[in-house]
Amino acid sequence: MLRRTMAEFDVKAGLQHVLKRIDEVLLQRPKVRSAFYLSSLWLSVWKPLSFLQEIQAAKPLLVAVSKTKPAEAVIEAYEAGQRDFGENYVQELEEKSRHPDILAKCPDIRWHFIGHMQSNKINKVLSVKNLRMIQTVDSEKLATKLDAAWSKLQPAPTDPLEVLIQINTSGEDVKSGIEPKDAPGLYQFIRSNLKHLNLRGIMTIGAFGFDYSNGPNPDFVSLMKVHNSICEAHSLASDSVLVSMGMSNDFDKAIEMGSTVVRVGSSIFGHRAAKA
């Protein structure tokens, strides 16, 4: 699974291009968002306006999505300065996190699990060395099981497990995630009851292929509305609740809309081979 099966791709150049684009978008974000504030669509989504003015233009965390890519590609990105990597599949996450070359050459790597989390795979994911975050918690049941499993690890972890709530903003049956209207309740449940989880924010995958000539991405608008609701309900600073949205084809648009975590794969590692 971890062998190279495609033509070589300049991972360092891909990573540098993405980082440069992130910096460019950050410089423009206040102007872009000011334009959005003046539109009736944007004002109908974001209320009150004073909340918008508090949003900080912090540099988003880049998670390099290395699924289906070999260990060598992960090491190349790491050696170019990347530290956060995302995997969609439990088996691949296990293999890469135990790969002898990655262990030897990437001591400070941070793994994010960004795929659908099955209850029977919880212990495998939590045993991953240098696990940073699980971005796909979508139910009270799953959150409770993660909380219990993390508390029982030996030796006992000193810090709570970082998690995000996954929200199905597109309403597609093939996508995992809680409905937007139910997300604030799940947020409240985790914060109030699960002391072994450090709830950092929310995420969405969204529908693919949105035409931006039609205006703002409705999935991004939906997630930011949830973000607004959570911050207001808990009197939280906007930048204290992470927003994970945006991938290779639209991470720049996501940053414009307020994303603080972007998950980028093919723009860094090259396109993935089609499944047989």
Average pLDDT estimate for 220-224: 94
For 24, phi then psi, to 5°, come to -65, -45
Higher pLDDT: 203 or 30? It is 203
- Write down the H helix ranges in the chain: 11-37, 40-45, 49-53, 71-79, 90-98, 100-105, 122-126, 140-151, 183-193, 218-234, 251-257, 266-269
Task: Spell out the domain ranges in the chain.
Answer: 11-46+60-269
Mean pLDDT in residue range 20-35: 76
Q: What average pLDDT score do residues 65-74 get?
A: 96
Asked whether residue 262 carries a pLDDT value surpassing 90, the answer given is yes
Measured distance CA(246)–CA(30) in Å, rounded: 18
Nearest to 220 by CA among 179, 250, 187: 250
Q: What is the mean pLDDT of residues 157-165?
A: 92
pLDDT band at 193 (very low <50, low <70, confident <90, very high): very high
DSSP 2: -
pLDDT score for 252: 95
Name residue, tokens 């949830």. 226
Mean pLDDT of 199-205: 97
Residue 55 has pLDDT above 60, yes or no: no
Q: What percent of the chain has pLDDT over 90?
A: 71
| Mean of pLDDT over the chain | 87
Q: What's the rounded mean pLDDT across residues 117-136?
A: 96
Give Cα separations from 117 to 1, 27, 137, 186 (angstroms): 20, 36, 7, 16
Does the pLDDT of residue 48 top 50, yes or no? no
The CATH architecture one would assign to domain 11-46+60-269 is: Alpha-Beta Barrel (3.20)
